[in-house]
Amino acid sequence: MPDWSYHGIFKPLLFKLPPTISREFIHKGMNSIASLPFGIGPRIINFLGREESSILIRQEIHGIDFPNPVGLSGKIDPLLSGTRAFTNLGFGFIEIGPISMEMTEKFTSPIVDQANQKISFPPKIESIGIEETVKKIRKLKKKQPIFFRLSGNYHEVVYMLKKLDSYADGFILEANFKETIKQTNKPLFLVTSLVNEEIIDSPFSGLLLEHSFEEGSLVEKIKSLRKMGYHGTIIASGGIYEPEQALQALDSGANLIMLTDGYIFAGPGLPKRINEALVDRSSIRPSPQAGWFAYWLFGLSILIGGIIAFILSITTIILPYDEIFLNMKRQTIWAFNDRIMLFMAHDRMTLAGTMISGGVVYMQLAKHGVKWGLKWAKQAIDIAAIIGFLGIFAFIGFGYFDWLHLLFWLILLPFYLYGLYKTRGIRGTPASKNRRNDRIYKRGIYGQLAFVLLGFSFVLGGVIISFIGVTSIFVSTDLAYICMPKEMLQEFNENLLPVLAHDRAGFGSALLSVGLLVLTMSLWGVQQGNRWVWLTYLIGGLPAFYAGLYIHFAIGYTTFIHLLPAYIAFVLFLIGLILTYSFFRKQY
């Protein structure tokens, strides 16, 4: 669940429910998505949240490979109802537990203090017991290291160690049973919230240092441990609500960090934000990626094609090969019913504006994303381009194959294929200047939600318009504007309907393709400080909205219900631009 949906939709509702009910509701829902067959679930989660980690922040500790240093505390999911989902949310490791021998039958609910952003977890642990834990872990597809946190007396802990050893990368113990070290060759970590000499001399592989509101700053504790000469691994748990606090903990000497209540209040996007901040701090900068210019030329060709189509839509409207197919001159159509020509101009100008906007976005993604090795930018281009190429088949839904469109795609294809081949090894992940949960960040989240809704609306609109184009061709307001039923148009010229269907399906296909560009950029490309993304929205959006709204008023097709989707989309566009302006432009 990305932050734009968590803060913008779910969090206000979830915080009104009892903590355990809201927790299980959201965890089970996420788990259901993650469990969809054929790998569909993880792909959906990745599409919505884009959680891969950069190789720049990968590290090895105790022989364990951590994709990144950000983990999730088991206190967030004590019943393991969402563990399958959490493995797909970009964490570098996951804690499971505390685990007890038997299932906990009675426990107090966590207490959520929204004012102070604090969760008081129950003193008596929630646990499904060791046997049920093993059953669930057996079904888990492991994607990152897993640490098991064990609670109980010495004999219980030893039993659980042996039971879980084959699934574990490490263990976290709540009690100082030094003898347990001999029971496993996996690293053992001792839970503590105190800093003293006994801890310094601990024989364990490391410490899980827990944050406590009553016992002072976690960062100061980490510093104290290092000053006192502690050389073991430190996992800092809790007290991290924003990327800056995570960076401070790591800079102070923590090797790993583990999110607890901060994950609930800041949102599920917190690990991604921390990872992007770590990449941003890296001294390694990518080199220009070969093949990006082919993608840029691909976008430029679409832009030029859109400009040509725009000029034609305000001049001749239809081309000589249209007249050949119709076996009729444009003057005859003007004389029969001028609104037929105006309606064609309406479809063709909106297509032209959409093409110009799409060309701009393609070029921006190529220059600022693909050039610098960003995998998400390449995949955004690939998804939209492939759908655009396939859209040519929608043109023949009513039997009119446009050879000019085919020629246009044949010109575009070499640029795209060359770019696709040369950039096939791209693996880069984004960086972000975001460090704080300040007002600018929160406004940016709601702006991102507006852009995501805009992208979804374009995609949905493209699908609907394409479907209409290859089936009924018109909606009721279209026929009301033309002032003729389909039968009369068919009787006037039997080839007219295929041409109109071609225009409608072509525009729908283009809108779908550009909608995917907007959607993927909104889902994957919103990182603080990326000014080029905001400019891409602005410069890329204006041609489509100008052409789409201008032509309707120019030809007098101003039916409110027909233009309502365009009005809503334009409002979302303005909201997104306003709310994300400072977010994209502010540098920390």
pLDDT (mean) for 24-49: 89
Does residue 540 share a domain with residue 462? yes
Using H for helix, E for strand and C for coil, what is the string for 477-529? HHHHHHCCCHHHHHHHCCCHHHHHHHHHHHHHHHHHHHHHHHHHHHHHCCCCC
Does residue 153 share a domain with residue 114? yes
CB 153 within 8 A of CB 179: no
pLDDT (mean) for 254-279: 94
Q: How much is the CA Rg of the chain, to the nearest whole Å? A: 29
Does residue 348 share a domain with residue 220? no
Does residue 303 share a domain with residue 277? no
pLDDT (mean) for 10-17: 84
Q: Find the CATH number of the domain harbouring 263.
A: 3.20.20.70
Please say if the pLDDT value at position 548 is more than 80: yes
Does residue 255 share a domain with residue 363? no
Residue 588 confidence (pLDDT): 58
Does residue 296 share a domain with residue 185? no
CB 408 within 8 A of CB 306: no
Asked which of 318-322, 571-575, 584-588 is least confident by mean pLDDT, the reply is 584-588
Alpha-carbon distance 511 to 515, whole Å?
6
Please say if the pLDDT value at position 251 is more than 90: yes
CB 176 within 8 A of CB 169: no
Residue 107 confidence (pLDDT): 67
Q: Which residues contact 508 (CB under 8 A, 6 or more apart)?
A: 391, 394, 461, 462, 463, 464, 465, 466, 467, 468, 469
Q: Per residue in 112-147, pLDDT tens?
A: 878 777 887 777 788 999 999 999 999 888 899 999
Does residue 347 share a domain with residue 267? no
Domain boundary among 226, 259, 281: 281
Residue 180 confidence (pLDDT): 83
Residue 537 confidence (pLDDT): 98
Q: Per residue in 287-298, pLDDT tens?
A: 899 999 999 999
Does residue 275 share a domain with residue 299? no
Q: Is 274 among the domain residues?
A: yes
Residue 285 confidence (pLDDT): 82
Does residue 299 share a domain with residue 275? no
Q: Is 308 among the domain residues?
A: yes
Alpha-carbon distance 493 to 512, whole Å?
30
Alpha-carbon distance 154 to 128, whole Å?
19
Alpha-carbon distance 257 to 296, whole Å?
40
Domain boundary among 262, 281, 300: 281
Does residue 244 share a domain with residue 331? no
Q: Per residue in 433-456, pLDDT tens?
A: 999 999 999 999 999 999 999 999
pLDDT (mean) for 512-531: 96
CB 191 within 8 A of CB 150: no
Q: Is 36 among the domain residues?
A: no
Alpha-carbon distance 105 to 245, whole Å?
36
Q: Is 26 among the domain residues?
A: no
The owner of tokens 């038997």 is: 102
Q: Per residue in 207-229, pLDDT tens?
A: 999 987 766 788 999 999 999 98
Count structural domains, the chain: 2
Asked which of 194-208, 396-410, 499-513 is least confident by mean pLDDT, the reply is 396-410
pLDDT band at 196 (very low <50, low <70, confident <90, very high): confident
Residue 219 confidence (pLDDT): 92
Alpha-carbon distance 171 to 174, whole Å?
10
Residue 215 confidence (pLDDT): 66
DSSP secondary structure code for residue 108 in this structure: P
Does residue 243 share a domain with residue 326? no
Please say if the pLDDT value at position 105 is more than 80: no
Strand partners, 119: 112
CB 20 within 8 A of CB 112: no
Q: Is 564 among the domain residues?
A: yes
Please say if the pLDDT value at position 92 is more than 80: yes
Q: Percent of the chain at pLDDT above 70? A: 98
pLDDT (mean) for 45-60: 91
Neighbours of 402 (CB within 10 A): 19
Long-range contacts of 305-308 (CB under 8 A, 24+ apart): 305/355, 305/359, 305/408, 306/352, 306/353, 306/354, 306/355, 306/356, 306/357, 306/358, 306/359, 306/543, 307/352, 307/356
Does residue 308 share a domain with residue 274? no
Of the candidates 573, 586, 282, which has an alpha carbon nearest to the alpha carbon of residue 438? 586
CB 394 within 8 A of CB 498: no
User: What is each CA distance from 99 to 28, 83, 492, in whole angstroms?
Assistant: 20, 14, 78
Asked which of 18-22, 52-56, 342-346 is least confident by mean pLDDT, the reply is 18-22
Q: Is 502 among the domain residues?
A: yes
Domain boundary among 249, 281, 313: 281
What's the mean pLDDT when you consider all of the chain?
Answer: 92
Sign of the C-alpha dihedral, residues 357, 359, 364, 365?
Answer: positive
Please say if the pLDDT value at position 472 is more than 80: yes
Q: Is 391 among the domain residues?
A: yes
How do 64-66 and 59-61 pair as beta strands? antiparallel
Alpha-carbon distance 75 to 27, whole Å?
13
Q: Per residue in 369-408, pLDDT tens?
A: 999 999 999 999 999 999 999 887 776 666 787 778 888 8
Alpha-carbon distance 271 to 69, whole Å?
9
DSSP of 283-299: S--PPPPTTHHHHHHHH
Q: Per residue in 316-339, pLDDT tens?
A: 999 998 999 999 999 999 999 999
Q: Is 73 among the domain residues?
A: yes
Residue 38 confidence (pLDDT): 87
Alpha-carbon distance 192 to 212, whole Å?
10
- Domain residues for the domain of 498 are 292-425+436-585
Please say if the pLDDT value at position 175 is more than 90: no
